[in-house]
Amino acid sequence: MDEPSTPVRWALAGTSEFAVEWIGPAIQSSPDASLVAVVSGSLANAEAAATRLGVPTATDDLGALDPDLVDVVHLVTPNHLHAPQAIMALERGLHVVVEKPMALDMTEAVRMADAARLADRRLFVAHCMAWAPPVAAAARAVAAGTVGTPIELRLAAGFDYPDAGYWRQIRTMEQGGGPWMDLGPHAVDAAIRILGPIESVSATTSRLAHGYTAEDTMCVLLRFVSGAVGTITTTFVAGQNELLVQGTAGSLRSRDWLGREFAGDLAFEPVDSDLLHFQDDPRDGHRPIALEPTNVYQHQVADVSSEIRDGAPSTLDLAGSLHVMAVIDAAIRAARTRRTVTVTDPA
């Protein structure tokens, strides 16, 4: 009889509601992982979260994590802390999962990647929508030629976020705040998984409804290496959750592509022979695609643990994450300069 594999030992850095209610339980629910420590800037918060999760170790010092006792740390911390904390943990000898966005800009992202290579440790960015059922199904359908030649992709993600003094509302996107740095990484990663790498971007921002410092809306125009075009809109003004992939043979549509524990929806519609409909005649061919409910964080934990323990290639490959960050960074520069910016990956 084969002996069971040793679980990968995880530490959770961050005690937000998201960290404690979603990331911690996802680690604990995996047979491949064991949550052994909680870290917070506040020892009291770390101890409270550790008690709530039933974790033996709580600390307010990320640098105190012992690589003989912890294999990987998941950083669920404010965006401006990602780079310094990831580099510290990598140099300490830990593997690192960092929440999106990877960093504030490409300079930080490259420093993080360099630190991982020098330490011979794995660095993962938590682009968990790789396992969102509509995203995964859309990527498979495009790869199978279902839509023909892809022409256009549209993604929208947003929610109403009234001013309450949170750091995402206080910090501009260069400082890690706003909807582009919150929802944009998910959308960019999904776009790339569906239609491939992005060549250039242009962008614009607005403050439409809320008085906080951060921009509350960002719209980005994409040109893919394939020649297809796309748009991504992120906002803190209204609920949005839509995906469209248009091709020469038909389209894929979702009104629920982004979620945590969900199935979402996706449907294929073949191209209609008529370009315009002047009467209220329903289109034929709407074909819903069956999707299974999924907890994206559980898949993420299993994926990361598998690479750390067994060397299996991760869905969250570092080169892909750097490309996402390059698009995020280029879009910010495009919005500020009002110019189209070429996406430049690190050498």
Residue 190: CB atoms within 10 Å: 27
Residue 51 within any structural domain of the chain: yes
Give CA–CA dist 128/296, Å, rounded.
Answer: 6
Residue 168 and residue 272 share a domain: yes
Residue 179 within any structural domain of the chain: yes
Residue 135 and residue 224 share a domain: yes
Residue 137 and residue 120 share a domain: no
Token pair for residue 176? 């890690």
Residue 159 DSSP code: -
Provide the pLDDT confidence category of residue 2 given band limits of 50, 70 and 90. very low
Q: List, for residues 55-64, the tens digit of each pLDDT value.
A: 999 999 999 9
| Pair 123, 95: CB distance under 8 Å | yes
| Pair 121, 308: CB distance under 8 Å | no
| Pair 214, 208: CB distance under 8 Å | no
**Coil, helix or strand at residue 11:** strand
Is the peptide bond preceding residue 293 cis, with omega within 30 degrees of 0? no
CATH number of domain containing 79: 3.40.50.720
Look at the chain and report how many structural domains it folds into: 2
Q: List, for residues 268-306, the tens digit of each pLDDT value.
A: 999 875 554 445 555 557 899 999 999 999 999 999 999
CATH number of domain containing 150: 3.30.360.10
Q: Residue 203: enclosing H or E segment and its boundaries?
A: strand 198-206
Give CA–CA dist 209/94, Å, rounded.
Answer: 42
Residue type, 78: P
Residue 281 and residue 140 share a domain: yes
Residue 347 within any structural domain of the chain: no
Residue 284 is predicted with a pLDDT of 59
Q: List, for residues 138-179, the tens digit of each pLDDT value.
A: 999 999 999 999 999 999 999 999 999 999 999 999 999 999
Average pLDDT, the chain: 95
Q: List, for residues 103-129, the tens digit of each pLDDT value.
A: 999 999 999 999 999 999 999 999 999
Residue 141 and residue 72 share a domain: no
Residue 1 within any structural domain of the chain: no
Residue 103 and residue 135 share a domain: no
Residue 189 and residue 122 share a domain: no
Residue with tokens 């390059």: 326
- The range of the structural domain enclosing residue 103 comes to 8-126+298-312
Strand-pairing partners, residue 74, are 12, 97
Q: List, for residues 19-41, the tens digit of each pLDDT value.
A: 999 999 999 999 999 999 999 99
Residue 149 and residue 292 share a domain: yes
Residue 318 within any structural domain of the chain: no
**pTM of this structure:** 0.95
Q: List, for residues 61-106, the tens digit of each pLDDT value.
A: 999 999 999 999 999 999 999 999 999 999 999 999 999 999 999 9
